[in-house]
Amino acid sequence: MGERLTAALLARVNTYIRSGDASQVLADEAVAEAVELRRTATADPASGTVTVRYSVLHVLGWFHWCRHTAQSGPAGTADLRKALDCFAVLLLPRPDLVPEQLSAVLSAEARRTPEETGRDGLRLLRELGPDHDRYLLDHAVGLLRTAAPTISDAEARSDSLNALTVALHQRFEWFGNVSDENEAIEAGRAAVTAAVEAGLPARTFLSNLAVYLRGRFQRTSDAGDIDEAVHLGRQAVTGARNLAHLSMLALALRARGEHRASVSDLDEAVEMLKAAVAETGTADSALVKRLGNLVSVQSSRFDLGHDPEDLDHAVTAAQEVLERAGPDHPHRPGIIWTLSDALLHRYERTGDEDSLAAAIDHCRTAPTTPGTSAEAASRLSQLDRLLRLRYLRHEELTDLNQAIAAAEGAVSATPGQASARAGYLSKLAVGLRTRGNRTGSVADLSAAVDAARAAVALQPPRGTDHAGHLSNLASAVFELYDHTGQAALLDEALDAARRSVELTPAGDVTRPGRLLNLGVVLWRRHGVLPAHTGKAELDEAIRVLQASADQVRTDAPGRALMLINLGLARFERFRRDGDSADAQAAIEAHSAAAAVGHAVSAIRFEASRQWGETAPITRQWAAATDGYEVALDTLLLLASLHLSRAGRERVLSADGVMIASDAAAAALQAGRTVDSVRFLEQGRAVLWSQSLHLGTDTTRLARVDSALADRLVRVRDELNSLDGEQ
């Protein structure tokens, strides 16, 4: 695409130079082509290195120069500045590409004082748009990096160093180069030193530096970074009270509190954010963000202390702010979404379905500020997430269909916002994958792959979100392979999964999940490879899956899925090599997965069933009986009444019929005769109770006595509604 856009823009420039037809460079279509070229031409497709090619800068420089000559006034001046910015990058490496009439101007600019150069870097930084404009950002970094250390005035030097910090951190967030993050932090420290030297308050610089240190801590888990962030945050809030700095310190305390399981840090963070929310006026746009931070921190404190009042207070705080803002307040949509988020936190931690239903209702009814497509997209994305959560609980396809429609709406509402659009495309891919797996629709799975590929294409190859989109792509492609058997898809899934892991630093909280994706693809791929190559991939799969399980807490819900796949891979190697150590490791992995108390019931059931089925291979009948016993206990939860009728029927028909007889057989082999009978009775009780609850079709009865049929339906619904009540 970059080559096509370059050629199109060059043709416009040449036509304007030959004919003087200003429409060639002033038309909206021409501007759109230039913006798209700057966005898409930031990566070398062969190496993935993020850099703008000289040919692109040359064409863009001429384009803006032509626009400058074609119009007067502020618009022409702005284009002249953009042309100079492009050619300035080319002046040293490729002076032959710089027009003669601009070389003298650029050479003079190169001789400017450090203060003038620093101001130019600040100007470029302010002109950055949302489309990852690499050449402007690189030029700003270059100017500030050159000027800032040599500015003699301490105040001006501190301002330029702080601007360099912001520019480097922006480049890290866009393109993911860790050296930029590290340099940004060092520049931030230098900015603080310069401000102190000038006798100036350094609160803003301290606060910015604390934010960047907290970000690096979240990526690396380096406790020194978060301790320094808290220390700097405390310095920033000393003296004059600033609610922004107070909120920043609260978030640093939260990060440290979560890392160290420190109740005192979380208590302090909650109190700070309560004060910040209470003191923030309803006209202040920061109110929504601070309220959202309060909700998140109170949820974190619940995770540590399990006090339900934390979740209730988060919901109450959002409701009180909503009442304070009033029905026509411009920030009302954001406050409602935050209330929806607080209800979501309460549902995720307590399973309270009323909270989930209320969250969905609030999200659906929240008004959207006219003309704010980003706001509409955010609301639709939140609705997508909530509806998918309810689908996972009830398995009602209506919820999933509506979630996908909301995700499609979020994508449509962000046509020109590359980063946001990529995130929404990834979420759409998840919904389509879920529906494809539920219904067996290859069309849905193919659409999921298309959406995931589009998300990857929109993000810079080294961007911080790129690894997540790659991992999502790996899952989507793998599941399409599972339904079609196309070997090329398996290769694509492996490539995406490997790149995702390579781009995710050690210590990153998302790394275990990405290792899981890679391990599953390796495990499944080994079976379609020649024996020697397949053996190596299965061995690697086991190492990767073990690493994924080792890098999360033993009670983390996601660990159960990692352990199940590790067990399956170890059992596969046992079948291949006959090493009883692999069989024993498989049994232990499945039993550990079944013991993860917060895991999804379906995953715990599958783990315990695999435990029961694997143990008899090595004649461990007692272990098999234990596994089947857990499976039977979990079956009742799995087929509980919160599932739709179709969901319960699917569970019982697929797994419920044979599990009791398998458990009874294993118990007999283990000499546990009483348990054998108990298992059969337990299985029969599950089936009978579910049969009674599922009820029957009353259509035929209605033909004979419609009143009686209606009464039967009402009574059955009333009985069903009592499920779960104390």
Helix axis angle, 332-350 relative to 286-305, nearest 10°? 10
End-to-end CA gap in the chain: 63
Alpha-carbon distance values, 279 to 178, 233, 242, 263, 499 (Å) = 37, 19, 10, 24, 46
pLDDT for 44 equals: 44
pLDDT for 49 equals: 42
**pTM reported for the whole predicted model:** 0.69
Residue 583 and residue 565: Cα distance in Å, rounded?
Answer: 14
pLDDT for 48 equals: 40
pLDDT for 46 equals: 39
pLDDT band at 434 (very low <50, low <70, confident <90, very high): very high
More confident residue, 593 or 86: 593
- 3-class DSSP assignment, residue 552: coil
- Residue 204 corresponds to which tokens in the numbers above? 């803003």
pLDDT for 625 equals: 92
- Residue 428 corresponds to which tokens in the numbers above? 């759409």
pLDDT digits (tens, 9 = 90+) for 659-709: 888 888 999 999 999 988 888 877 776 665 555 454 555 666 666 777 777
Residue 312 and residue 325: Cα distance in Å, rounded?
Answer: 20
Domain assignment present for residue 637? The answer is no
Q: Is the pLDDT of residue 269 over 70?
A: yes
Alpha-carbon distance values, 530 to 213, 488, 491, 536, 623 (Å) = 48, 16, 14, 10, 35
More confident residue, 132 or 20: 20
- Residue 286 corresponds to which tokens in the numbers above? 């920061």
pLDDT for 107 equals: 64
Task: Region of 323 please: left (phi>0), alpha (psi -120 to 50) or beta.
Answer: alpha
- CA-wise closest residue to 505 among 532, 468, 534, 533: 468
How does 227-259 read in b/e, with b if 16+ C-beta sit within 10 Å? ebbbebbebbbeeeeebbbbbbbbbbbbbbbbe
Q: Which of 103-117, 146-160, 217-231, 470-484 has the least mean pLDDT?
A: 103-117
- Residue 346 corresponds to which tokens in the numbers above? 């309460």
Q: Is the pLDDT of residue 462 over 70?
A: no
Residue 262 and residue 24: Cα distance in Å, rounded?
Answer: 63
Domain assignment present for residue 268? The answer is no
| CA atoms within 13 A of residue 351's CA, in its CB half-sphere | 9
Residue 587 and residue 613: Cα distance in Å, rounded?
Answer: 9
- 3-class DSSP assignment, residue 267: helix
Domain assignment present for residue 580? The answer is no
Q: Which of 2-11, 209-218, 242-251 has the least mean pLDDT?
A: 2-11
Contact 382, 341 (CB under 8 A): yes
Q: How many helices (H) and strands (E) does the chain have?
A: 35, 0
- CA-wise closest residue to 716 among 697, 698, 693, 699: 693
- Determine the Cα angle at 91 with ends 90 and 95, to 5°: 90
pLDDT for 73 equals: 78
Phi and psi torsions of 522, nearest 5°: -60, -45
Mean of pLDDT values over 216-241: 90
Report the amino acid identity of residue 42.
T
Q: Which DSSP category does 280 fall into?
A: S
Report the chain's mean pLDDT, rounded to a whole number: 83
Residue 672 and residue 665: Cα distance in Å, rounded?
Answer: 10
- Residue 5 corresponds to which tokens in the numbers above? 């856009």
Q: Is the pLDDT of residue 467 over 50?
A: yes
Residue 319 and residue 341: Cα distance in Å, rounded?
Answer: 12
Domain assignment present for residue 606? The answer is no
Domain assignment present for residue 724? The answer is yes
pLDDT digits (tens, 9 = 90+) for 513-537: 999 999 999 998 888 877 777 889 9
How does 530-547 read in b/e, with b if 16+ C-beta sit within 10 Å? eeeeeeebbeebbebbbb
- Domain assignment of residue 721, given as a range: 696-726
Contact 400, 388 (CB under 8 A): yes
Helical (H) or strand (E) element with 258: helix 243-260
pLDDT digits (tens, 9 = 90+) for 298-317: 988 988 888 999 999 999 99
Residue 476 and residue 497: Cα distance in Å, rounded?
Answer: 11
More confident residue, 461 or 641: 461
Domain assignment present for residue 102? The answer is no
Alpha-carbon distance values, 191 to 205, 303, 619 (Å) = 7, 37, 69
- CA-wise closest residue to 218 among 453, 505, 552: 505
Domain assignment present for residue 702? The answer is yes
Mean of pLDDT values over 635-657: 58
Report the amino acid identity of residue 593.
A
pLDDT for 272 equals: 94
- 3-class DSSP assignment, residue 50: strand
pLDDT band at 117 (very low <50, low <70, confident <90, very high): confident
Domain assignment present for residue 717? The answer is yes
Burial of 488 (0-12, 13-18, 19+ CB in 10 A): exposed
Strand partners, 85: none
- 3-class DSSP assignment, residue 107: helix
Q: How many domains, in total, are found in the chain?
A: 1
pLDDT for 645 equals: 57
Contact 461, 48 (CB under 8 A): yes
Report the amino acid identity of residue 515.
L
More confident residue, 666 or 123: 666
Contact 425, 455 (CB under 8 A): yes
pLDDT for 77 equals: 79
pLDDT for 330 equals: 79
Report CA dihedral (426, 427, 428, 431) to the nearest 10 degrees: 130
